[in-house]
Amino acid sequence: MRDAVIVDAVRTPIGRGKSSGALHGIHPVDLMAHSLSALVARTGVDPALIDDVIGGVVSQVGEQGVNMTRRAALAAGFPESVPATTVDRQCGSSQQAVHFAAQGVIAGAYDMVVATGVESMSRVPMGASARIPAGAGDISGVGFAQRYPEGLVPQGISAELIAAKWGLSRGQLDEFALASHEKAARATKDGRFAAELAPLAGLETDEGIRTGSTLDTLAGLKPAYYDAAMAERFPQIGWNITAATASQISDGSAAVLITTSERARELGLRPLARLHSFAVAGDDPLFMLTGVIPATRKVLDRAGLTLADIDLIEINEAFASVVAAWAHDTGADPRRVNVNGGAIALGHPLGASGARLMTTLVHAMRERGARYGLQTMCEAGGLANATVLELL
């Protein structure tokens, strides 16, 4: 039976998604191309052997539109014969790219694929692809509006609804955010990201990590998503989410090389991990971000494992409340979760984050000798991906 293994995984440092950010001057096509070039250089693989490049991008408009993964592959110097496509499962786009790549390899449709992702949020603002020109109508249609007559809500409100439903206090969320920065700062200082990073534009470490904050400092921040109409509609909301307990707007890219164990041996490559099991799940689109809970259960069931078998976990820190609710319902050991910090500290370049988390997870597993790793992330629309890796 064919398998799918990760030969290598690489990412750029994550830049602040602002005009003053270190990666703002890099076109998103060149940003993705940098990870693709670094991946080929690190492995020594002839890019002509790559059967496809599958890229995750969320805001597929402007510089990031029109199947930009193809342009990035060409910008990286890949032969014109190497095809490429771009997928969108919102924040999980490049994790879905990994799934499609691995599933294609296992099925025999591919022998070698690159899964990649990018987002330049400083150049293509979040939500740009959903903006409707004046007079162009809505994006949902009649049936959707009939099913959800009161309308859905922005992600920040969903994060607040989660905090309220799971009884998460402002103090709990602030403590989580502070710990994320502390772990990321310690990992950076100790060189734990060195094996996965491909420096770019003078940026050698993740730009958004902050040191010196305290719980008192965070307690002084105002709620980030307060809205009078939403407060009237949802009186249960305590307005506990701040800029500190939400992921950062960021620029970055990542890429993962996937093949079979047999093909890796033929090429003299040493795989890092096997892609063991996959799942995608849907959940209430009003709460939007809770799909990680059923997705985790689903992938573990498919893997024939329990959470106790998982040594390391990467769950995207879209908001502190998401991870806290997931941990409450799954019983995850916090000592195994985001051991080098998460998106609250490192940043969340939307389309890149799935591949970024995969890159961080596989390198952390190798460093720590962890047999099994789990990755999951919430996605707009009440969706979530989950993946189990096995160290080789």
Catalytically active residues are: 91, 348, 378
Strand partners, 378: 384
DSSP, res 382:
T
3-state secondary structure of 225: coil
d(CA 105, CA 51): 10
Q: How far apart are CA 310 and CA 44, in angstroms?
A: 32
Residue found under tokens 């020109």:
133
Please state, in angstroms and rounded to a whole number, the distance separating the CA atoms of residues 241 and 320.
8
Local structure of 273: helix, strand or coil: strand
Q: For residues 261 and 273, what is the distance between their CA atoms, to the nearest angstrom?
A: 10
CA dist 345 → 10, 180, 206, 282, 367 (Å): 19, 6, 9, 27, 21
* CA distance from start to end of the chain: 17
Helix (H, G, I), strand (E, B) or coil at 276: strand
DSSP state of 121: T
Q: Which residues pair with 278 in a beta bridge?
A: 387
Strands of 219-329, DSSP E: 250-259, 273-282, 312-315
